[in-house]
Amino acid sequence: MKYLIVGLGNKGAEYENTRHNIGFKVADKIAGLLEVSFNTSNFGWMAEGKYKGRKVFVLKPDTYMNLSGNAVKYWIQKENIPLENVLIVTDDLALPFGTLRMKMKGSDAGHNGLKSVQEMLQTPNYARLRFGISAEFSEGRQVDYVLGTWKEEEIEKLPERIEKFAKSCLSFVFAGIGNTMSSFNGK
């Protein structure tokens, strides 16, 4: 069985530690847990590993957020991965900082990365894992906020939250989405 876990983010040093790049951070942690490295590949950086007998592809698209769907579609087709074995990891303004929410399907909720994925896959029926970044910005400052860096108190909590998210992704691979949602959502 093959699985594709995609951490959404933007390439480039200026985006590396922004809220919008939390998907990349989770992908890095998953690769670390699987003891594999990322290599430059088509549409981004790919790490391949095994988890409890299952083949896991971890992708960080290099297409920038708004075109993430191109990378997702390419790798699903190239590796013939069933849609139910795909998990997209992204940031979410609607959730308090560090909140974990995995869902089987849903809307893009105004997130340009998810919007691109949905357009390219022609369906909203794919699993997504949302990392709460809260919405502590004044009117008209959303872009500055999501592309801004973390607050000091968030930085202290990030390693634990990123590890929890990475473990939930591996649970998705082995235990399935239903069990993973029961075990991890809101924790």
> pLDDT tens-digit profile of 103-147?
999 888 888 899 999 999 999 999 999 999 998 888 888 888 999
d(CA 167, CA 183): 11
Please give the helix or strand (H or E) that residue 88 lies within, else none: strand 86-92
Residues annotated catalytic, as ranges? 20
Whole-Å CA distances, 165 to 40, 75, 131:
24, 22, 8
- Predicted TM-score (pTM) of this structure: 0.95
Query: CA-based angle 90:84:17, to the nearest 5?
Result: 15
- What value does the mean pLDDT take over residues 157-164? 97
- Domain span holding position 16: 2-184
State the total domains in the chain: 1
145 Cβ neighbours under 8 A, 6+ residues apart: 19, 93, 135, 136, 137
CA 154 to chain centroid, in Å, comes to 18
CATH number at residue 30: 3.40.50.1470
Contact of 44 with 57, CB cutoff 8 Å = no
Tokens of 17: 């530690």
140 Cβ neighbours under 8 A, 6+ residues apart: none
> pLDDT tens-digit profile of 57-97?
999 999 988 999 999 999 999 999 999 999 999 999 999 99
